[in-house]
Amino acid sequence: MTPPARLRLLGAEVDLITPADMLATVERWVAAGRRGVVANHNLHSLHFHGRSKKMRAFFQAADLIQIDSMPMIAWGRLLGLPLKRAHRSTYLDWREDFWRLADACGWRVFYLGGAPGVAEEACRRLARHWPGVSFGARDGYFKPKDDAAVVDQINAFAPDIVFVGMGMPRQETWILEHHEAIRRGVLFNVGAAFDYEAGAQVAAPRWAGRVGLEWLFRLVVQPQRLAYRYLIEPWSLLPAAMDDIRLAMRGDRRIVRAA
């Protein structure tokens, strides 16, 4: 299959792909026994991308890079890039379609991350709704010396999908350093997905995500934890935004790879 178009935006590369296209691609990979890494960019990840060699290496190693940000899509459209609302791809929006597909295909899904008990509770709740899925889990409270044992646990489970949710940039660094040792499965960096599924965090209503206000809901719910992320970090992207403007004025549409 021809890979999707890839764009350069705010100093990073992203794929022009919808959630449905992403899931169809992952389904093909799993059926073929192919390993892969599915990443996503939002303003938070872009902040780290500009400051961390390991974050840049993670995205270079990713097979697909989703856009998990309505502000990114709005900015790209302002620059004349062929972006639409449908290209926003975040776990909370494609979760039902994913689990429906996983249930129908009988996938084996491993959760890595969250506080002790959170991933297990998420698996218990999901298993009640999707009995065709096999679940494995381990919390994210382990030290680097335990990495080999974690990889062994994942390999023993023989997953089709591995969700890694340990917060940025730890989850991306862990995937970068260990994805080649995981013999089977497609890996995703999914942030707080486990917390949502376990009921440990309240998810924003999906209309807020569609209109680009999910960040505001989360800020109101957790102001101390998220104030810096949402109110200060985006300013670090100003140089990349100015670079986008200069290139757009020269007629460069920032398409790195055509579909």
pLDDT at residue number 51: 95
Average pLDDT, rounded, for the chain? 94
Record the tokens describing residue 55, joined without a space.
């974050």
Record the tokens describing residue 175, joined without a space.
């995937």
Paired with 65 in beta bridges are 39
pLDDT at position 19 over 90: yes
pLDDT at position 20 over 70: yes
pLDDT band of 190, cuts 50, 70, 90: very high
pLDDT at residue number 212: 81
Record the tokens describing residue 54, joined without a space.
């390991």
- Residues 142, 80: Cα–Cα separation, whole Å: 45
* Tens digit of each residue's pLDDT (9 = 90 or more) over 134-178: 999 999 999 999 999 999 999 999 999 999 999 999 999 999 999
Q: Which strands sit side by side in the sheet containing 108-113, from one edge to the other?
A: 64-67, 36-41, 186-189, 161-165, 108-113, 134-138
pLDDT at position 258 over 80: no
Burial class, 33, CB count within 10 angstroms (exposed 0-12 / middle 13-18 / buried 19+): exposed
> With contact defined as beta carbons under 8 Å apart, do 37 and 179 qualify?
yes
pLDDT at position 130 over 70: yes
Answer with the residue of higher pLDDT: 254 or 113.
113
Cis peptide bond N-terminal to 239, omega within 30: no
* Tens digit of each residue's pLDDT (9 = 90 or more) over 80-113: 999 999 999 999 999 999 999 999 999 999 999 9
pLDDT band of 214, cuts 50, 70, 90: confident
pLDDT at position 72 over 80: yes
Sequence-ordered list of residues with C-beta below 8 angstroms from that of 120, at least 6 positions apart, any chain: 137, 139
Record the tokens describing residue 3, joined without a space.
């890979």
What average pLDDT score do residues 25-53 get?
97
pLDDT at residue number 221: 87
What average pLDDT score do residues 61-74 get?
96
pLDDT at residue number 1: 67
pLDDT band of 208, cuts 50, 70, 90: confident
- Domain spans, the chain: 15-189+199-257
